[in-house]
Amino acid sequence: MPDAVLFEVTAPHIALVTINRPEARNAVNGAVAAGLEAAVERVEADPDLWVAILTGAGQHAFCAGADLKEVAAGNSASLATEKGGFGGFVRAQRSKLWIAAAQSHALAGGLELLLSCDLAVAAEHANLGLPEVKRSLVAGAGGVFRLPRALPKAIALQMIATGEPIPATQAAQFGLINAAVPANEVMPVALDLAHRVTANAPIAVRESLGVARRAADLPEAELWTVSREASGRVRATEDFKEGPRAFIEKRAPRWTGR
């Protein structure tokens, strides 16, 4: 049986993580949850990996959410891990940037996986939604509070209360995703974003993300402290010296991640 999650390094400093259950519309089962948790840990542990792209195999779905066959069989607990929550991903502690590349629909838990990423690219034809209320469920993997943070309040509440999705083109207009493009351009656009990130000093990127991710949760007085501490850690790195040196020498910087 093929691995439920594939992991490969497709370019310097970039990992590609693929949910590999196209026959089940990449729905999350226990193997997917374990595989995604392992992928997060691998990215975090490898100092040479700076960005990860999360996608789904096939052309029919980025991820259809929880595997209802597993739920019906009483295996709901296997769809989450202790560290990562649903899919081994939505609550995982990640310092590095993740990009969702949705080649098709991202619904229910699939949208919650996308919302857990930092950036997202989706196919123009894709629908994004939380249909849980249509089955007397709550989108409990972060969707009901992350969606209102990512969209205008009225649009988010409409999606949550009606269970109806919005097209990727509309999601891009509202800023839920970074771009809606033809399906065959999803991965190239996601890779372009990844390359644009890896052109920068990796520790500075991680420290900046660490502050930005807490912007909605902390009062401004605390954010000043968090930001100052992040700046201090960056100043202690070799890359902090390399940036100005490369500028003076009129060359591209050579980041080491140290």
Which amino acid belongs to residue 104?
Answer: S
**Paired tokens of 204:** 């500075």
Q: Is 82 a catalytic residue?
A: no
Question: CA 23, CA 232: separation in Å to the nearest integer?
Answer: 49
Distance between CA 4 and CA 136 in Å, rounded? 28
Query: What is the rounded radius of gyration, in angstroms, for the C-alpha atoms of the chain?
Result: 19
Given the residues 37, 70, 112, 207, select the one marked as catalytic: 112
The DSSP letter of residue 28 is: B
Q: Exactly one of 82, 132, 185, 220 is catalytic; which is it?
A: 132
The amino acid that residue 246 corresponds to is: A
In single-letter form, the type of residue at position 94 comes to: R
Alpha helices, DSSP H, located in the chain = 30-45, 68-72, 109-116, 143-150, 153-162, 168-174, 186-198, 202-212, 220-235, 238-248
Give catalytic status of residue 238 as yes or no. Answer: no
User: Which is it for strands 166-167 and 127-129: parallel, antiparallel or unpaired?
Assistant: antiparallel
The pair of structure tokens assigned to 238 is 């070799």
First to last CA, the chain: 40
Which residues belong to the active site? 112, 132
